[in-house]
Amino acid sequence: MTDAPDAPPTLDIDELLTRTPTVRRRLDLSRPVSRPLLAECLQLALHAPNGGNRQNWRFLVIDDPETKAGIARHYKSASDAYLAATPPAAMSEKAVAGVRHLADHLHEVPALVLACVHGRLPADAPLARQSGFFGTIYPALWSFMLAARSRGLGTALTTVHLAHEREVAALVGLPADEFTQVALVAVGHVTGGTGFRRTRRRPLDDVMSWNRWDS
């Protein structure tokens, strides 16, 4: 790609799908993201498929420094606990460094999008309900990330703070008995140009089979 460092990237759909990584170390912490730009990405995200088209989602965008700092404290504590419990072989050193970097700097990330679903899932909910409950918002989150990427922004979809869901709910005045937090997406402009390599994935043959389950 030959885009100027500050220009939004020109990506065809296949490039957008294969070159939208989780951005942790390349989020520009010194450059705010405008509210209209964030709203534009969310507006596009609302067209994603969702359960029964009920659209029972809410997106709370947090750009207030004090609120971000409060969330970041809970994020850091949850992330440290997560990393402490992760066997060294399960993650590369580089990946651990990236996760740590985001946790150390979350309060400086320009905007955080807290994605929530209306309701609470009973612990014994049937599988179809569990899948529908959390799954209803993920297509919209991915659409948001793609829309952001195509506008020169980077995102990191995270869930680790959910270990402290109630504390974060209290910080932002979210009624935790009525709404379930599903993910927190960190958003910023990116440093080092807008180009990203293809995300690394296992070969299709390892994960796909035709007609019969192939172990």
- Closest CB to ligand FMN among residues 33, 102: 102
Taking Cα atoms as reference points, which of 6, 26, 4, 7 lies closest to residue 197?
Answer: 26
HSE (side-chain half, CA atoms, 13 Å) at 107: 11
How near is the Cβ of 156 to ligand FMN at its closest, in Å?
Answer: 6
* Cα-Cα-Cα-Cα dihedral sign, residues 59, 62, 40, 135: negative
How near is the Cβ of 111 to ligand FMN at its closest, in Å?
Answer: 16
- Closest CB to ligand FMN among residues 179, 196: 196
Residues that bind ligand FMN (CB under 6 A): 21-22, 24, 99, 102, 156-160, 199
- Closest CB to ligand FMN among residues 127, 214: 127
Type of residue numbered 43: Q
How near is the Cβ of 101 to ligand FMN at its closest, in Å?
Answer: 9
**What does the alpha-carbon distance between residue 75 and residue 78 come to, in Å, rounded to a whole number?**
5
Q: How many distinct helices (H) and strands (E) make up the chain?
A: 8, 4
- Closest CB to ligand FMN among residues 76, 189: 76
- Closest CB to ligand FMN among residues 34, 199: 199
Nearest-5° angle of CA 137, CA 165, CA 35?
55
10 Cβ contact partners less than 8 Å away, ≥ 6 residues apart: 1, 3
- Closest CB to ligand FMN among residues 4, 85: 85
Taking Cα atoms as reference points, which of 25, 190, 201 lies closest to residue 96?
Answer: 25
How near is the Cβ of 170 to ligand FMN at its closest, in Å?
Answer: 20
How near is the Cβ of 205 to ligand FMN at its closest, in Å?
Answer: 19
Q: What are the CA-CA distances from residue 47 to residues 52, 198, 208 (Å)?
A: 13, 26, 28
Lookup: tokens for 68:
């971000």
How near is the Cβ of 59 to ligand FMN at its closest, in Å?
Answer: 16
